[in-house]
Homo-oligomer: A and B are copies of this chain.
Amino acid sequence: MDVLMDLVSDDLQAVNALIMKHMQSNVVLIPQLAGHLIAAGGKRLRPLLTLASARLCGYQGDRHFGLAACIEFIHTATLLHDDVVDESDLRRGRDTANAIFGNKPSVLVGDFLFSRAFQLMSRDSSLEVIRILSDASAIIAEGEVQQLMTTNDLETDRDAYLEVISGKTAVLFAASCQLGAVVAERPENEEQALENYGQYLGIAFQLVDDILDYSAKQAALGKTVGDDFREGKMTLPIILAYEKADSEEKVFWKRVIEDLDQNDDDLDTAIALMNKYNALEDSMAKAREYVEKAITELDIFPDSPEKSALIGAVQFSIAREF
Contact = CB atoms under 8 A, between A and B. Distances in A.
Nearest to A127: B122
Contacts of A114: 111, 114, 137
A103 interface: yes
A127 B69 CA distance: 19
A118 B146 contact: no
A130 B119 CA distance: 8
A318 to B, nearest CB: 28
B144 A108 contact: yes
A259 B25 CA distance: 28
Interface of A: 25-30, 77-78, 81, 84-85, 103-105, 107-109, 111-112, 114-116, 118-119, 121-123, 126-127, 130-131, 134-135, 137-138, 140-142, 144-146, 148-149
Given A29-B148, A146-B27, A85 B107 contact: yes
B142 A25 contact: yes
Given A28-B149, A112-B141, 9 more contacts: A105-B148, A111-B114, A112-B138, A114-B114, A115-B141, A116-B138, A121-B134, A122-B127, A122-B134
